[in-house]
Structures are given as structure tokens and as C-alpha cells.
Structure 1
């Protein structure tokens, strides 16, 4: 073999070895690539499994006091007695740890219907309970059939209430901190006479529940119905309850959280929690802000949740508003509007008035769904008995312009400020009462309540219902507590109710 033949064979051999090495490297890279892809998908699978594990393990961890994962929830989930940090200027949220609510497994359609029907039955609305179950179209289901039979039997045991013997009690804003509210000043003495403390209110509703009282709406008494001739007439209704149960109406005046009450131991305003339920914001003496049960609405909600049979068909209190300081603690009135010619220079202009109006609308819608109905307490808290027709007309216009648009429905209930009626005990008549009744009837009012110390005062007319209200405030409670008069023993044991933190004697201011 000569040199050239040797070189050529050597070169070919080397090229062959190079191709083999390159082929091996390509095969190795392919294997590495396939391995990387496999590892990538394994990682994705592990992440997915980890997510599922956290999602379903979290409720258990939270129940055991473990660590919470996820976003923060609103401050309204924090218990009112929990330590909080004072808000600094411009801050709006509470500081500190919060716990996200655990998820509840979804109920089946049948279980959900059974749960809903059971609540409706507990609140004496057997027709709705039966309709809820019938809507499932499960007539062959023995459990459903048994429940329907049970509700029909319980409905058959109801008896008609005496629709002329329904008492009506009322409160003002509840006192959270008596040491700040009930001071030795003229204002403090006024608060002492016309306000009720939270412990008093809680004991009152417990006492009345134990005595068989059941809350009803004003619209449960009677309602305007269209007649065959096209006219409308107030028609008395019939409330059906178990033997021994007694219907009553509850109302609360001035749910406005007035400017003059700020810093005196009352709630600041109404808010909605993360579940859309009404709560209160409260600022304590040190400036700490919390969200909780600081007034009638959330306290009553909690009680009804525990005792659903206290609320007939889920109906709760009548909530009454004035307008001159806005509604529910929000300065929504035109006299606070920086862009309105009606702006009162004595008021601090509210630059967020339009946003606050929308907030109030959301809250009143939620309150309606929660079982409340609404009433006018006039725009300016005026005395309808002493004011002339022109001033009542002006006040009613302001109510219709500033307050009624914030409510979910047109308002038909008027709770007279100071309890002062436009007439005496005689039924209202059109063309009488100096034209005041005609004016109010034309404005859409059909339910009218004064204040009366009698246990019951009711009057049904062709286009109205009138009812007397009983004040369960500091003055009336002390009157019974001291033995001066006995006006409350049919409702409560005042010895259990009266808050002894009150300065005494309690005089009418």
C-alpha cells in the first residue's frame, strides 16, 4: 500500500469515527431533551397536586388553628372584641392578621331546598316551604313527601292572631359606651332619657322571645289592594301563628348616625361585611376602629339567626330615616353636596357624596333582603302636629328628593317625629286635618305611627293604618324600674333589663 492509499483509507476511517461520535451526541441530546420535557410535565403535575392539597386541606388547617393562606378578607370578619390598631390619618382599613373564611361544600339541589324549606317553616311560612319542595318535582321521594306532609300538618295547627291587638315598640340608636354617652351634660341627659343601651336591647328581645312574641311588618297588618272598580283600598290581612304566639311590630328611629353623635359612644355608620350582611363601624374612645354588632340591625340579625321563629316570614324591624344629615352615617344630603346650591355652609362638604349615595343604595337593598322595611321620619325631624301645611310640604319635598331615591322601594310608612300626630283619635278624612292628610296621602304614605303609652292603639281606614308606638328607652325603663309606673310588664321584666350603669334618676329631657 502506497502512501496515498494509506492516507485516503486513514481519512475515511477518521470521518467514519467522527460521524459515529456526532450520531451518539445527537442521540444523547435527544434523550436529554425528552428527559427535560418529562421533568417539566412532572413539575406541572406536582404543582397541580400541591394546589389541590392546599385547597382541600386549608379548611381543616384553619379549624385546627393553623396558618391561613390566600388573600386578606375585609375587616368585618374580625370579631368586635379583638384588639385593633388605631387608624392613622387617611387610613380606612384595620391593621393586623385576618383569617380567610373556609369554604363550605356545596349542597345538592335537594339538600338546599330542604334547608330553605325548613327555615321557611320555622318562620311560619308553610306555604312557601311546601312550594319550595314541590318545585323539585320529586313527588316519589319519600323524604320530600314526608316533609310536605309535616308542613301541611303544622300549618293546620296555626290560629289567627287578633289583628286589633298588635303592640308596637321602638328604639333610637343604641348606646355602645355609656361612659361617653351618658355624661352629666344636657346632651348626656337627653341620651339617658331617649336611648337604650346594647345590653338592655339584647335582654328585651330575649325576654319578648321567651314570652312568645313574634316580629311582623307593618305591611303584614294590611295593604292597599285594587278593587273591582279600579280603585284601591286598605284591606286588613290575617296573621297566622301557633297557639300562644303574639305578633308585634318593632321600629328604630333616626338611623342616620347624626354628626352631633360622633365621639359620644355610638356607632359611626352602617357597612356591609364580605357576605353582604349589615354591620356597624364603631370608633372607641382611643380612636380604634372596628366592625361589628354595634346597633339594632346586626344584633337583631344575630338573634334571629339563632331563633328564626322570632321573625314572622323572616320579617324584622321598620328602620326610619330623616334626611338632613344624610342616611346610615353617610352625608348624602344635598346640604353636604359641594356642587349643590343647597350646600349648607355650616356643614362639612362631602366630596364623595355620589359614591356614598351608591353605597347607601347597596346597604338598603341588602337590608330589605335581610327582612327590614323602611319608614320616613320626615326630612328635618319636624313636628307634624304643630307645623303648617307649607312647611310640611317643603319638608316632604326634601325627603322625596334626598332620601327616597336611596331606598329600594317607594316609602309608605311615616313614623311621626316626637310622636306628634296630625290628628286626634278620630279616623283621618280627606279634606280634614288642615289638608295635611291629603298632602301625605298624595306623597304615598298609608301607614302612620304616633307615640302612645297604651299597650295597643290601632286604627284601620279605607286608605290608611294608624298605630301607636311604645318607647322602650331610658325614661320608660326607669319609670318601671323605680316603680313610678307599670307600662312594660306585659313585655319584659324590667329588673332584668335595666342597665344599672345609667345615671339615675332618669328624667325626661
Structure 2
């Protein structure tokens, strides 16, 4: 057999050669490798399909849930912004509505306070500034009531209005009535205690008295005095009030009186008083703060916000402030005799006094001259009276705003008789420097004299002497026996 014949596969049962076996084995391996590769490919494809199916299912579930839960709990950014803006706007509208309601309530309260003090026109006008007042049942009912009340008011005859007055009140009777004999006697005669004042005020209120201003009685219109118009309920009785010598003089130190008028934390005038331990307390130690407190509780005791008249001298300053020149002038005998003057800043005292006066005038208090040196203007010569008044006009009037037009005569006297001020040089001088109202003290009954150039009014003193000896004269106002302070020494010494 040649080499070519050896390389062929015989037909029939001839056995395979080594080469053929290797070739077959190679073919088997390739088949196995293809099968394995195909299975791997199939598995990868199947895995990818499964992943895609899972993702698709989740997406579908999310889409279905978004139409429910997301709609309820998730809001797109634009919607969130819009919702927040709506909520903020609603809150602002609610706040604005509440502020408007509160403002309306405040205005109505202020109007009610005006009506309580008989200023019905002012109350109605203020109420009508409340937005939408026409549809507010409470406001319209109040306006209707005030309109009806106005029809019942009675015009007061100003020539029948009494004028009552006090001096600074005694806070501590044990000091005022039991020190220097001369001062104690004077205090017992012409002063009133805090307890007496409070009882008198309450009794006058109970009897229907209403405080009015002297400027309510008449006004200077273009140089001519014209009667004012005071309208009150028929059962009310007007009166004017004044307080003399609210200067807290040096000689009163330690005698149981207040020492100064100041403006309290509430913005209203009150008093300071120096205590025995050297401390200073603030409170109702004189007519001014006591009357303020009473009017706050009883606004119907004051006609349109009326307060009293403060009658001031000048030689020791005003309202407890040492405003007189002597406190800052080393050349004066007083300065040389009193070392404590050196501690006084007179300019600061004047500035403080001016500020207190300004606030008191805002509240309703009025101011009058009581002369500079507490001069008896009826007995003084013309030149002497003028010289004294020039001091007052120069030193005191500027602290009061420069517009004082009331004279309250010291010592109760007057510059003319009951017939009036015709051909009266003293009157002509006082009129020329701006005074229109003239008030004396009458020993009998109060009276008013009206003239085209002035209003003249007599005053009744509510003090220890009058309560002890002149009870009948005081009877229209209060019962002196029930008011009289038991701490007073009796009998009160006759004048």
C-alpha cells in the first residue's frame, strides 16, 4: 500500500485513524462551546427582559399611584408657590380685618367717652369716621341714642355758675396742724385735707355737679367777650374749680404737703412728696392727681374734658420747680443765705416746669396769675401792682405758654366794686396785657358779672374755716359736718 492509500478512510469496517479522532474531538468541543455561548446569551437576554419587565411594572404602579396619593400629598413646585402665596394673602387679609375691627372698636370707645363727658356732637362725628358705620348696628344705635339725648339738653345760664376753690391739700395732718403755731393756724383756716377733698368731690358728684371751664362760660371773640353755650342734662349743675398757690412754697417743706407736680408714667400729671426717710414717692397728694383719678373713673364729672384753674405766683417758682431768678443769682440776699440754692439748676427747673405745664394744658388744665408776690391787688397802688405784674409776666407767663388770660386775685380782694370796672386804671392795665377773666372771693354767695370786655366771677373757698363757721353757705355742695376732718384742731381760730 503506497503512502496515498494509507491516508484514506477505508469503507466498511475499517478503523478510524488518529487524525480522524482528533478532528472529531475538535468538532465536539466547538459544538459544546457554541451551546454554552448560546445558553449564556439566552440567559443574559432573559435577565435583561426580566429587568425591563420589573421596571415597567414599577412605572405603571407609580403612574397609577400618582393619580391618587401623589395628587393628595405631592404638589408641583409652581402649585406649592401658588398655595403659599394664597395662604400668606389670606393671613394678611385676616390680620387686616382684625386690625380694622379693633380700630373701629377703639374709635367707638373714644366716642362713648366723649358722649360720657357731654360732647355728643364730637361723639357722633367720631363714630361716623368708622368705615361702614352705616351698617354697624352697634354704632348706629349709639348715634341714635346720642341724637335723642341732645334733644333733652338744657342751656345753662352762665351767670348762675358757682366757682369753688382750694389751696394745696394737706396730706399729713399730724405735721400740718402740729408744727409752728402760726403756720398750723393758717393751715387749719385756709387749707383742706386730702380726706376732706375726696369726700367733697364724691358728694358733689352724687348731687349732679359737673366741672366746666371758665372758657366754656365766655370767650374773647375779636376783642369782645361773648357768652358761651353750655348744654347739660336738666339734672346736672355746672361749677368752676380753681386751686391757689400751687407753688409748694419753701416754708411748706416738711409740713405734710406734696412737693412738686410731675408727669406720671401714664402721661398724666401727678405729685411727688418727700418722705421722712428722704425718699420721694409719687401719688395722689394734691388736687391735680386726685381729680384726674376721679374723672378717669367718672368721666361725666367733667364737661368736655374740663379740669381746674391753677393760680400761680412767682417768687418761689411754680408747681414745686425753683424757677425764680433768686435761685440762680449769687448777688441776691436769698442766695447768700441758703447754701442749698447752689445745687439748683434754674434753667433746667424752668425747662422741666414748662414741659409739665404743656402736658397739663393738653389734658385740660388752665392757668391763671395769682400775682408775682401774692400781692393784695386791691390795696396796692397802681404802680406797685403794675411792677409786681411785670415780674409775673416776665418770669412766669412764658413758662405757661405766654397766653394766660385769667386773674385770680390774691387774698380774695378785687380791684373794683360790685358795680364793675368802669373808669378803673388797674383794670385797663390788666386788660391791656391780655387778661379777660377776673376772679375774687365773695364772703356770701357766688355771682357772675358779664361785660363786653370781661367776665367776672366770685369764688367760694372750701377750707377749714368755711366748713367750721359757714356750713349753710356750703350746704348746696356738701354736708360740712360729714366731711370735716376729725384730725383738725377745734375750734378753728377766727380770722
Query: How high is the TM-score relative to the length of structure 1?
Result: 0.74
1:15 aligned residue = none
2:269 aligned residue = 278
1:428 partner SS: coil
- The answer to whether the 8 A contact 1:336-1:350 is kept is no
C-alpha displacement of 1:260:
0.3
2:450 aligned residue = 460
C-alpha displacement of 1:345:
3.9
C-alpha displacement of 1:333:
1.0
- The answer to whether the 8 A contact 2:208-2:237 is kept is yes
1:164 partner SS: helix
- Segments of structure 2 that go 5 or more residues without pairing to the other structure are 1-98
2:472 aligned residue = 486
2:492 aligned residue = 506
C-alpha displacement of 1:330:
0.8
C-alpha displacement of 1:391:
1.1
1:136 aligns to 2:130 (yes or no): yes
- The answer to whether the 8 A contact 1:337-1:350 is kept is no
- The answer to whether the 8 A contact 1:138-1:144 is kept is no
1:304 aligned residue = 295
2:28 aligned residue = none
Within the candidate set 205, 212, 215, 1:216 is matched to 212
1:496 partner SS: helix
1:82 aligned residue = none
Aligned residues: 393
- The answer to whether the 8 A contact 1:337-1:343 is kept is no
Q: C-alpha distance in 2, partners of 1:309/1:106?
A: 29
1:160 aligned residue = 155
Within the candidate set 156, 165, 174, 1:170 is matched to 165
Q: C-alpha distance in 2, partners of 1:271/1:489?
A: 34
1:451 aligned residue = 441
- The answer to whether the 8 A contact 2:322-2:349 is kept is yes
2:198 aligned residue = 202
Within the candidate set 94, 108, 118, 2:112 is matched to 118
C-alpha displacement of 1:302:
0.6
1:334 aligns to 2:340 (yes or no): no
Q: C-alpha distance in 2, partners of 1:467/1:391?
A: 24
Within the candidate set 186, 192, 203, 1:190 is matched to 186
Q: Over residues 278-318 of structure 1, what are the superposed CA-to-partner deviations in whole Å (9 max), with x where a residue is unaligned?
A: 11111233434211110000000111111100000010111
1:266 partner SS: coil
- The answer to whether the 8 A contact 1:254-1:321 is kept is yes
Are the structure 2 counterparts of residues 132 and 337 from structure 1 closer, same or farther at C-alpha, using a change threshold of 3 Å?
same
Are the structure 2 counterparts of residues 127 and 425 from structure 1 closer, same or farther at C-alpha, using a change threshold of 3 Å?
same
1:127 aligns to 2:126 (yes or no): no
Q: C-alpha distance in 2, partners of 1:504/1:307?
A: 34
* Deviation larger for 170-179 or 151-160: 151-160
Within the candidate set 350, 365, 368, 1:372 is matched to 365
5 Å-filtered alignment, 1:311-326, equals: 311-326=302-317
- The answer to whether the 8 A contact 1:343-1:349 is kept is no
5 Å-filtered alignment, 1:34-183, equals: 108-142=102-136, 143-183=138-178
- Segments of structure 1 that go 5 or more residues without pairing to the other structure are 1-104, 227-231
1:406 aligned residue = 399
1:385 aligned residue = 378
Which 4+ runs in 1 deviate beyond 6 A? 339-343
- The answer to whether the 8 A contact 2:322-2:344 is kept is no
Q: C-alpha distance in 1, partners of 2:100/2:383?
A: 58
Q: C-alpha distance in 2, partners of 1:375/1:383?
A: 16
- The answer to whether the 8 A contact 2:330-2:336 is kept is no
2:473 partner SS: coil
Query: How high is the TM-score relative to the length of structure 2?
Result: 0.76
1:361 aligned residue = 354
- The answer to whether the 8 A contact 1:190-1:508 is kept is no
Q: C-alpha distance in 1, partners of 2:296/2:100?
A: 20
1:241 aligned residue = 232
Q: C-alpha distance in 1, partners of 2:421/2:391?
A: 24
C-alpha displacement of 1:147:
1.9
